[in-house]
Amino acid sequence: MADKVRIFDTTLRDGEQSPGASMNVEEKLRVAGQLARLGVDVIEAGFAFSSPGDFEAVRRIAHEIEGPVVCSLARAKPEDIEAAWNALKGAPRPRIHTFISTSDIHLGYQFRLTREEALERAVEMVRMAKGYVDDVEFSPMDASRTELAYLYEVIEAVIEAGATTVNIPDTVGYALPQQFGELIKGIRDNVPNIDRAVISVHCHNDLGLAVANSLSAVINGARQVECTVNGIGERAGNASLEEIVMIIKTRKDLLGLDTSVVTEQLYPTSRLVSGITGIMVQPNKAIVGDNAFAHESGIHQDGLLKEKTTYEIMSPESVGLQQSTLVLGKHSGRHAFKTRLKELGYELGDDELNKAFERFKRLADKKKEVFDEDIEAIVQDEVLRIEMPDKYRLVKLSASSGTEVQPRAVVEMEVDGKVLEEEGVGDGPVDAVFKAISSITGTKSRLLRYSVSAITGGTDAQGEVSVRLEEDGHVVLGRGAHTDIIVASAKAYINALNRLEYKKQETRERLV
C-alpha cells in the first residue's frame, strides 16, 4: 500500500480569512459536510476563541460532521486552549492546534518574547492541550524564517510534551521549493524524536509557490498537507487542495503516495465553496477552472478524438466534472431535480429541497431550459441563506428607464418586520433602485464593487449580481439571481446589507 498523505483542510479557518469571505455557521456546516464527503482527514473548523460565531461553528462541526478529525486553532494562551476544548469536548475526533511564533523577526518586533520564553510557552500550552485531547498539533509560526537550531529544539520539546503533529508553516510565502524540502529533511535528520509525530506543512501562495513548496515537503517526508479548496486564504491564499490531491494521484508513478480524497467530489466542493464565499475561481485555474479541460487548439482536438491520452493527463470525470448535459425543464420532476442537485454537491434536507424545487418550477416556467448553473444559483440564492436572520427583506419593486426618461425606481421593503417604501432617481435603473434601498435602510456602507453576469447563454438567462460593501472595516459580499437583472441587483444589495448586519452583530458580541 502506498504511503498516505493526510489532507488537512483549512478552508473554514485560513480560507475564511480571505477578504470578504466570511461565512456564517450554517454555511460552514454545509461546507464541512461536503468536506467529509470529499474524504479529507482533518477539518480545521475555526478559531474557537476568536468569536462566538467561530466557537459555535467549531462546536457544531465537531459534533455533527461524521468522519474527519475536527480541529480548532488556538494561540499558545490558556484562554485559547480552554475555548478550543469547550467547543470540542464530547466530539468523536477532536484535535487542538496551537501555535506560537519562533522567528526572531516575529518574537522581537511583534510579541516581545525571548526565544526561551516562547519555547517555554509552547511546551506549557501543548501540555495543557494534551490534558484535554490526545490529538495535539503544534505550529512554530514563521518556521521558514526561524533559526534552524532553535526550530529543532522547539519541535523536539513540543513532541516531548505530547504533540502528535508538528506543522511547519511558510507563513509569509517566502520559501522556495528546494529550500523548503531541505528544511523538512533537516527536521527529520536533526530532531531525535521526530518519528513520534507526523510532519505537516502549511504554505502560503505569495510567490505562487504554495503547492510546489508543499509537494517538495511531501517528497522530503511530510505526511500532512494543510490546504484550502480553490486555494483561498489570507492574502494570495494557501496551497490549493485540489491541486495537491490531483498531483499525488496523477503522478503516483513517481511519488508512490496516496490520499483518502474521493477525487470525484473535487469539482462539486469547489463550486460549493465559491458559491458560498463569493470568491470566483479563475477560468484557467488548474483542476477546477472552467477551462481546465477545454481543448481549444485544432491539433489537440484532433489528437483527443483519436485517443484521449494524447493530450489528457487526467479525465474530467475523475475530478467530478459532469459530462452529461441533461437539461432540466418544466416537466422535470422532484426526483430528477434532487438527483441533479446531488451530482452538483448539494445534499438538501426536505424543507430546503421543497423550497429550491418551488423556485426551480417558477424559473422553468419563465425559461425553457434550466442548466446546472441555474440550479446552483437557485440553491445559493434560496437555500444557503435561509438560516441567516434577515433584518431587511424586499417586498416589491418597480423600475423604469429608457432613452427619454429619467430612470426611477420604487422599492418596498420590510425592515425588522415594518414595511417601508421609497422612490429613487438615478443614472440608470440599478442606481435608482440602490438609492431607494439606501434611503430606506439609512445604510452608511460604501459600495466597493457591483458586477452582473449572465449565468448561461440566451437573453432569458438568469442574471447573477454580486455586490461588495464596506462599513467600519467590515467587507461583505452579497449575491442575487433572477431573470430580471434589476431584481437580481436589489436582492444582491439587500443580501449584502443583511450580511453586514450579521457581521456587526458578531463583532458586538465579541466585544462583550
Q: Which chain residues interact with Mn ion by CB under 5 A?
A: 14
**Shortest gap between Cβ of 222 and Mn ion (angstroms)?**
16
CA atoms within 13 A on the CB side of 28: 30
Which helix (H) or strand (E) is 422 found in, with range? strand 418-425
**Shortest gap between Cβ of 28 and Mn ion (angstroms)?**
17
- How many other C-beta atoms can be found within 10 angstroms of the C-beta atom of residue 405? 8
- Nearer CB in complex with Mn ion: 14/352: 14
- Nearer CB in complex with Mn ion: 97/503: 97
> Hunting for cell 434611503 — which residue is that?
439
Give the residue from 189, 261, 177 showing the smallest Cα distance to 219. Answer: 177
- Nearer CB in complex with Mn ion: 22/489: 22
- Nearer CB in complex with Mn ion: 130/204: 204
| Pairing state between β 408-415 and 418-425 | antiparallel
Relative orientation angle of helices 350-366 and 334-343, to the nearest 10 degrees: 110
CA dist 253 and 95 (Å) reads 33
| Pairing state between β 474-482 and 6-9 | unpaired
CA dist 109 and 221 (Å) reads 32
- Nearer CB in complex with Mn ion: 16/431: 16
Torsion of CA 149, 151, 155, 156, to 10 degrees: 10
At residue 382, what is the residue type? E
CA dist 336 and 328 (Å) reads 8
**Shortest gap between Cβ of 280 and Mn ion (angstroms)?**
21
Which helix (H) or strand (E) is 271 found in, with range? helix 266-277
- Nearer CB in complex with Mn ion: 57/239: 239
**Shortest gap between Cβ of 273 and Mn ion (angstroms)?**
17
Position with the least CB separation from Mn ion: 14
Q: How far is CA 494 from the centre of its chain?
A: 23
Which residues pair with residue 419 across a beta bridge?
414
How many residues belong to the chain? 512
CA dist 365 and 226 (Å) reads 45
**Shortest gap between Cβ of 10 and Mn ion (angstroms)?**
7
- Nearer CB in complex with Mn ion: 73/378: 73
Return the C-alpha cell found at 414.
420590510
**Shortest gap between Cβ of 171 and Mn ion (angstroms)?**
6
**Shortest gap between Cβ of 202 and Mn ion (angstroms)?**
6
- Nearer CB in complex with Mn ion: 14/135: 14
Which residues pair with residue 198 across a beta bridge?
165
- Nearer CB in complex with Mn ion: 14/80: 14
Which helix (H) or strand (E) is 420 found in, with range? strand 418-425
- Nearer CB in complex with Mn ion: 14/501: 14
**Shortest gap between Cβ of 234 and Mn ion (angstroms)?**
5
Which helix (H) or strand (E) is 413 found in, with range? strand 408-415
What are the φ/ψ torsions at residue 12 (nearest 5 degrees)? Answer: -85, -10
Q: Annotate 219-253 with b (16+ C-beta within 10 A) or e (fewer).
A: ebbbbbbbbbbbbbbbebbbbbbbbbbbbbbeeee
Say if residues 101 and 110 touch (Cβ distance below 8 Å). Answer: yes
**Shortest gap between Cβ of 73 and Mn ion (angstroms)?**
10
Q: Annotate 380-399 with b (16+ C-beta within 10 A) or e (fewer).
A: bbbbbbeebebbbebeebeb
Return the C-alpha cell found at 466.
454580486
What are the φ/ψ torsions at residue 353 (nearest 5 degrees)? Answer: -65, -45
- Nearer CB in complex with Mn ion: 48/455: 48
- Nearer CB in complex with Mn ion: 14/137: 14
Tell me the H-state helices in 370-446.
372-378, 429-441
- Nearer CB in complex with Mn ion: 14/41: 14
CA dist 372 and 384 (Å) reads 16
